[in-house]
Every structure is written in structure tokens, then in C-alpha cells.
Chain A
Amino acid sequence: MMTNQNCAQNLELVSGQLFTDEVILDIDDVTISYSGNPAVKSVSFPIAKNKITSIIGPSGCGKSTLLRSINRMNDFVEGVTVQGQLSYCGHDVYSSEIDPVEVRRNIGMVFQKPNPFPKTIYKNISWGPVINGYKGSTDELVEKSLRQAALWEEVKDRLHESALSLSGGQQQRLCIARALAMEPDILLMDEPCSALDPISTSHIEDLLFELKARYTIVIVTHNMQQAARISDYTAFLEMGDLIEFGVTDQLFTRPSQRRTEEYVTGRFG
């Protein structure tokens, strides 16, 4: 089991400022290729603990590829190779002694399209902890996770109905609750609102604010307003290159790169 402790306090320079937050995950010179074609090129930036970091950029810039390499979900894609270091609490998640299953127990993920299991709401939540040997009360765990995902009030009377009977926005919050039930260190979100209506989207954005007290969140989004609203740090990728990483306010109001400025002001992308 990888421990949640021993995460060293890293100090790095970001946009000329000292990065004083605790770094939980350090992306260091990471290149990701599909059958030899690089989709992400020598990208480096830190992920701060208990903050929301968003990764933005035009379609095909490699932002989802980068996100999915953090919990080794790219292992299931044929021909993907990862070079460089992804240090999670001092361990490179791609080193040979790391068990990818353990990595995924500690780094949860929410996908673009809600993907609840065709099981009951209750079983969707308890599934992950139970297969991982959770011995405590699943009733409590289900309630706690659903409350954290702001879904409890809506579903408390129908926990044993199929998760597929929920609306799209509810399904996505269920998937968030399902990931939270594992009490991950980091929650990765791959455009979690792209399949949702504006009301469901704002529910989830509100939720993320509350969640960052306990979790570190990395979110990929194509929606720049969303990134600006919710995140503390933002990384801007274009064609696999990291163009700029910095404090969100600064990146959106006073970007240091011309490409960033053009993208955030909507001149392309």
C-alpha cells in the first residue's frame, strides 16, 4: 500500500513566483506517445495539495491523455508509452515496483460521460470499497459519500433502485460519490460537465469548492469560464506542449505568453 504520508513540501518557481503550496503530484518532463507519436511533449508542472488544478487547451492538445496517465488509465490503450516522471508522494507512478491497481485506489477518476454501473445506487457506491476489502459499515459509507457529492437528499429514499434511473447530472454526481467512497488522495476529472446541462454543471462546480478541503482535484475542461471560476491553478496545453502554467487569476488576466492570451480571450481554440 502506498502511504498518504511523506509528501514532501516542494518549492518551485511558477511564473516567477515561489510555489508555496504542498505538492502532492509532480509532473516532471513527461512525454506521452501513441505508437511513437508524441501527444504530450516534455510537460512539467506541480499539482498542489487540496487545490483545484485545471488543464485547458483546444481539442486534441493532449489534456485528457495527460490526465489519464496520472492514474495509469492509459495502460489500457494499446501502444501508449510514458517517459519522464510522475511523482506521487515521492514515488514515480510508472516505476516498475509500483502496482497500477494501488495507484488507482489512491487516485480516483470521474469520466466525461457518466458511467454508473448497471446496479443499484447503493451498490455503485459500495462496489469499490468492498472489492478493496472495506470492513466498516457500508450504510454509513454510502450516506457519507452521497452527502459529499450533494446527492443524498435526492436519492436517500431510492438507494436500492437502479442507478440508471437517475438523470444525467445525478448520474455524474453518483460517479463522483463512487470515486469519493474510495477516499482518494487525488480526484481526476475528465471534462465531467461536458455531457451535462448548465444547472447540473453549476451543482458540480459548487460541489468541487467543498471537496477541495479534503481532496486534491485535477480537472480537464474545454470550458475556459469553468476553469477560471473553479480552479486555483491552470495549465494551458497546445499541441502537446505546455504553453503556460500558473495561478488561475493571473493566467486568465495577465498571461505571460501571447498564445495563452489569444486562447483565453477566444481568438482561437
Chain B
Amino acid sequence: MSSSKSVDMQQMRDIDITKKKVRWGEWMIESSLALCATISVVTTAVIIFILAKESMGFFQVVVPADFFFGTSWVPLLEPSSYGVLPLLWGTLLITFGAALFAIPTGLASAIYLSEYASPRTRSIVKPVLEVLAGIPTVVYGYFALTFVTPLLRMLMPELQVFNALSGAIVVGIMILPTIATLSDNALRAVPDSLRQGAYALGATSYEVTTRVVVPAGLSGVMASFLLAISRAIGETMAVTLAAGATPNLSFTFLESIQTMTAYIVQVSMGDTPAGGIAYQTLFAVAAFLFVITLILNIVSQWILSKFREEYE
């Protein structure tokens, strides 16, 4: 570039920095990006609004105490009763059973992957676990119905076709990858210098893992449990298919139960008229479910953010 040209530029240029130009291209890009970001925020707000509005309608008819503490859930037949406890119980039974299976197995897998597996083994096992997380949940439902339940019935002939046990097992298998991969990340985030320090004091691999690495990564591990549990609580299709649709305050895993989400599916698929009380039960149940999973997610986020400061 020659110097004469730049002199020309200076002479040509209108030197007035106070003149503010609106750059329309910039403005459009910025606005459309902001719009996209707004969509999810607005959607969430609308969902909360609708849940709240329809639940209000429900609670004008049904006394909240009857809903939260009632032990019988017969919303669609006369005489109706609206005690949510059997549904909540169904959800808790599935979640508890799934956690009972997935937490030890998931943590053990994470420990194996992070502390014992060779890089080669890890490079095979971890993607397989992640594929497991990507399988549509309805497939897990059929897996329960056509494989897990028949297998269990061979061992326990008194087992019903739809039962909580089979549901809990497949939900457990479903949340296992969440626990295994997130806990693995948490354990691998523990600095190697801590392991070395422990080995240098004459610790065995087992002592290093259980007494240094897992405690140091504990908040990340706990957060993975909570996230997995909140997935189990919100799980729908697999449980509906495996555990059936019988609201039941049963204390055994052998009978059919109904979870909160399974109830929502059942009613949504029928021809319940909009505006009626049966229709509003959907929103009351959904709002309740939303509050439970929201609290769990907030708690696990809080634990995760604490975890970031741990080694500094």
C-alpha cells in the first residue's frame, strides 16, 4: 500500500466522530441471537404460568390437604378422590429401586474407569456408556416388558406382568450412564498430585481411591447422583410400559404401580375434555413433579458449583 493513497484517504474522510451511525447488519444479528436466547426463557415462563393457572383451578375444587395427604387416587371415576400419595409413592418406589441399583454400579464403573482402566479400555467403555444414555426411553420400556419381566417371572412366578421391580431395574439401567460418566469426570478432575502424595505415603491403590480420590471428588459424585435421581423421577415411557397404571400404595416391588408421569401419559392419551377437573389434575400433578425435580436440580447445581472451588 503506498503512502500517497493513505494521504488521499485522510483527505477524503469526513472527520467527525460525533456522527453516530446505526449499523443495521450488526443490529439484526444481535437481535436475532437475543431472540433465540429468549425463546427458551419465554417457554419456561409460559409453562410455569400454565401449570400454576390450571393448578389454581384444581385447588379451588380440591382442598390442598386432600391432594397432598390423601391416600386414594381415583380421579376419573365416581366417587372420585384426589389423594396424590399413591402416585408419589409409585414415583418414589421406582426412583428408590433405580437408585439402589444404579448408584453402587455407577460409582463402581466410574472408579474403574477413572482409577483402574487402561486408556485403551476407557476409550472403548466410555463411548458405550454414552450410547446407553442416548437410547430412547420407550425402548427401555419394551426391553423391560419383553426381556426383564419374563426373566424375573421365571425366578418369581408370583410377579405381575406390570410391576415396579422391572420398572425400577430398567430406570436404573437408564440412569447408570449418567452416574458413571459424571462421576468419572468428577474423579478425573481430582488432581494427580493428590494421588501421588498418597502413594508416596505408602498407600495402596485401594486406599488412594477410597480415602483420597473419592472424598476429594465427592461433591461432583453427589451431584451426579442427584441429577440421575431427578431423571428417574421424571422418567415416563419406560415406567409406564414396565410398571403399568395402577395407583397403588403397595410396599412391594412385585405389583403394578403408577407413577406421576405415567398418570399424565394415561390421561393425556384418553379423551379427557379440557377444562374439567380430570383435565386439571394433570396440571396439579405436573406442577408437583416440576417442583420436586426443580429442587433436586437446584441442589445438584449448588453442589457442583461448590465442587469447583475445592482444590484451590
| A residues adjacent to B (C-beta < 8 A) | 71, 73, 76, 101-102, 104-106, 108-109, 111, 113, 115-119, 127-128, 131-132, 164, 175, 178-179, 182
Contacts and interface: CB of A to CB of B under 8 A. Distances in A.
A73 B199 contact: yes
Contacts of A132: 201-202
B114 to A, nearest CB: 14
Given A111-B196, A127-B211, 16 more contacts: A71-B200, A73-B196, A73-B200, A101-B204, A104-B201, A105-B202, A106-B202, A111-B197, A111-B200, A116-B197, A127-B201, A128-B203, A131-B201, A131-B202, A132-B202, A182-B201
Given A117-B212, A164-B311, A128 B202 contact: yes
Contact of A118 (B196, B201, B310): B310
Interface of B: 191, 193-204, 207, 211-212, 215-216, 310-312
B203 A109 contact: no
Interface secondary structure of B, over-half rule? helix
A104 B202 contact: yes
A182 B202 contact: yes
B198 to A, nearest CB: 7
A195 B191 CA distance: 17
B202 A115 contact: no
A117 B216 contact: yes
A171 to B, nearest CB: 11
A118 B216 contact: yes
Nearest to B200: A109
Contacts of A113: 193
Nearest to B191: A115
Determine which residue in B197, B202, B207, B216 has the highest number of CB atoms from chain A within 10 A of its CB, and name it: B202
A101 B197 contact: no
A115 B203 contact: no
Contacts of A106: 202
A128 B195 CA distance: 13
A76 B211 contact: no
A101 B196 contact: no
B125 to A, nearest CB: 18
Contacts of A105: 201-202
Nearest to B208: A131
B197 A108 contact: no
A117 B197 contact: yes
Nearest to B190: A118
A253 B194 CA distance: 40
Contacts of B310: 118
A108 B157 CA distance: 60
A6 B111 CA distance: 41
Contacts of B199: 73, 76, 104
Contacts of B212: 117
A178 B198 CA distance: 10
Nearest to A129: B201
5 contacts: A108-B201, A111-B196, A117-B197, A128-B203, A131-B201
B203 A101 contact: yes
B200 A104 contact: yes
A179 B200 contact: yes
A88 B207 CA distance: 25
Nearest to B192: A76
Contacts of A108: 200-201
A117 B200 contact: no
Contacts of B198: 117, 127
Given A118-B310, A118-B311, A175 B203 contact: no
Nearest to B309: A164
A115 B201 contact: no
Nearest to B206: A131
A111 B199 CA distance: 12
A183 to B, nearest CB: 11
A164 B198 CA distance: 16
Contacts of B194: 115, 117-118
A131 B208 CA distance: 10
Nearest to B195: A76
Contacts of B197: 111, 115-117, 175, 178
Closest 5 CB pairs of A and B: A105-B202, A128-B201, A115-B193, A109-B200, A115-B197
